[in-house]
């Protein structure tokens, strides 16, 4: 390859870039389980509150990415403020650009692979730095911060980001299973689901020191005994509160989880045979969820970028003034129980309704546009990903040829054509 390549910009900083070494020998299965579990636990235990924040009772700027935090394992006003988003987004975006030939890289060459991995790591760290300072200067951590406080917040969040990047790299380098960021994110989502259902932590939800339990089920139990709520009001609040987890969302998430678990087993089994030995027949399974959860993560990654860009314009530039020209065009943020910064129209079209029932009955357009955005971007990514990730019909056909396998009743020359009837449809449908 000749000319400038984006991956070459990391060469000068390779000597100072922290890196996890490959294991000297292949680790046994049990050791990989231990590394994987401990990586998830370490991430969970890293949710320490930030030090150096002003001791204000209520922040002037609330959370603009509240609906994206659960997807990327982010915890507000902790060391994991931005969670795994920079790691997941840098991997997805750069691999997509490399597959589309926007970034010049030859993955058959080891040095190129190492440079690409280093570029992914640097891009993730840069995102931690940018996001941290966007939130600082927008007033999310408080107004009139001193230089020491700004430096301390940067040190904590960027340092935690580097630690998170290396923690995921431990799994990626062969000490655990699958993708490090994906495994850790799965652990976080599972624990968050438990906390959102059974969490007993009391969270301030009003200016009169009123608190409610984080867990939706615990909130229902407390609401039935509450003095400031009626019996029916406690039940309605548990199912419909829009500032903390509610039972409606919990039930929907559990239903989706059950459906996804079922769809994981849905597959098309193509009969195959060996071209080297007679009588050796088998089946080649093609799952309905061919690209897994990557297409959904890509959609939420794009949403994250859109809302961060909007947050910069609305909060940093326009100061969230409804009369400002930017706010008239994009919308502004409204405070929800001193916890959330809920966008107004038209930015609200790309944010889920805070309540499921409210979204269906009062904001049907928002419900439709948000769902359509996730669907369209997910389908586009799934189609591109199966074509560039080595799992397209052509790639599988070449793998068949190398292994001496072909589809039963089909010539070797027609294998790719037959696979092309199934794989793209499975990728897009899943």
For residue 53, the domain's CATH number is 1.10.3370.10
In a domain, 64, yes or no: yes
Task: Show the CA angle centred on residue 187, arms to residues 181 and 189, nearest 5°.
Answer: 95
Instruction: Give 274's strand partners.
Output: 405
Tokens representing 290 are 């061919």
In a domain, 351, yes or no: no
In a domain, 357, yes or no: no
Domain that holds residue 91: 1-177
Q: Which residues, 6+ apart, have CB-to-CB distance to 425 below 8 Å? A: none
In a domain, 390, yes or no: no
> Angle of helix 294-311 relative to helix 364-388, nearest 10 degrees?
120
- Output the CA–CA distances (angstroms, integers) from residue 114 to 126, 165, 392, in the order listed: 18, 16, 24
Contact 355, 242 (CB under 8 A): yes
In a domain, 120, yes or no: yes
In a domain, 132, yes or no: yes
In a domain, 124, yes or no: yes
Question: Parallel, antiparallel, or unpaired: how do β-strands 267-274 and 202-204 relate?
Answer: unpaired
| Stretch (H or E) spanning 328 | helix 325-330
Closest CA to 135 of 307, 301, 327: 307
Spell out the per-residue pLDDT of the chain, length 430, in tens.
456 788 999 999 999 999 988 888 888 989 999 999 999 999 999 999 999 888 765 667 889 999 999 899 999 999 999 999 999 999 999 999 999 989 999 888 999 999 999 999 999 999 999 999 999 999 999 888 899 999 999 999 999 999 999 999 999 988 988 788 889 988 888 898 898 899 888 887 766 667 888 888 888 888 887 767 777 877 887 888 877 888 888 898 889 889 988 888 888 888 888 887 776 788 888 888 888 788 999 999 999 999 999 999 999 999 999 999 999 999 999 987 777 889 999 999 999 887 777 777 788 898 899 999 999 999 999 989 988 888 888 888 888 888 888 888 777 778 888 888 888 888 887 6
- Report the number of distinct structural domains present in the chain: 1
Phi, psi (deg, nearest 5) at residue 405: -125, 150
Contact 340, 58 (CB under 8 A): no
């Amino acid at each position: 390859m000749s000319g400038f390549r984006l991956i070459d910009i990391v060469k000068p900083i390779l000597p100072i870039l922290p890196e996890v070494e490959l294991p000297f020998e292949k680790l046994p299965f049990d050791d990989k389980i231990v590394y994987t579990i401990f990586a998830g636990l370490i991430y969970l235990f890293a949710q320490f509150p930030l030090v150096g924040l002003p001791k204000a009772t209520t922040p002037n700027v609330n959370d603009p990415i509240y609906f994206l935090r659960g997807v990327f394992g982010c915890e507000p006003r902790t060391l994991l403020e931005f969670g795994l988003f920079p790691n997941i987004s840098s991997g997805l975006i750069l691999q997509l650009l490399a597959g589309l030939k926007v970034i010049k890289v030859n993955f058959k060459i080891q040095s190129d692979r190492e440079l690409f991995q280093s570029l992914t790591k640097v891009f993730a760290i840069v995102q931690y730095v940018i996001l941290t300072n966007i939130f600082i200067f927008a007033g999310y951590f408080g107004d009139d911060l001193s230089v020491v406080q700004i430096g301390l917040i940067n040190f904590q969040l960027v340092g935690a980001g580097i630690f998170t990047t290396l923690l995921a790299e431990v799994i990626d380098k062969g000490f655990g299973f699958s993708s490090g960021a994906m495994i850790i994110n799965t652990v976080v989502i599972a624990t968050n689901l438990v906390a959102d259902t059974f969490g007993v932590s009391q969270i301030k939800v009003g200016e009169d020191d009123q608190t409610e339990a984080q867990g939706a089920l615990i909130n229902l139990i407390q609401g039935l005994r509450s003095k400031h709520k009626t019996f029916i009001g406690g039940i309605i609040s548990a199912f419909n509160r829009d500032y903390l987890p509610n039972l409606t969302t919990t039930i929907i998430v559990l239903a989706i989880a059950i459906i996804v678990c079922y769809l994981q087993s849905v597959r098309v089994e193509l009969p195959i045979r060996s071209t080297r030995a007679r009588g050796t027949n088998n089946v080649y399974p093609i799952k309905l969820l061919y690209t897994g959860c990557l297409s959904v993560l890509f959609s939420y990654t794009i949403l994250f970028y859109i809302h961060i860009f909007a947050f910069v314009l609305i909060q940093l530039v326009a100061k969230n003034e409804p009369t400002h020209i930017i706010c008239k065009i994009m919308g502004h943020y409204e405070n929800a129980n001193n916890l959330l910064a809920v966008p107004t129209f038209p930015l609200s079209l790309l944010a889920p309704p805070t309540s499921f029932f409210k979204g269906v009955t009062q904001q049907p357009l928002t419900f439709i546009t948000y769902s359509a955005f996730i669907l369209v971007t997910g389908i586009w990514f799934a189609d591109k990903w199966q074509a560039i990730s080595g799992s397209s019909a052509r790639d599988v056909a070449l793998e068949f040829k190398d292994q001496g396998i072909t589809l039963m009743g089909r010539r070797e020359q027609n294998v790719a054509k037959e696979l092309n009837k199934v794989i793209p449809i499975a990728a897009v449908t899943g």
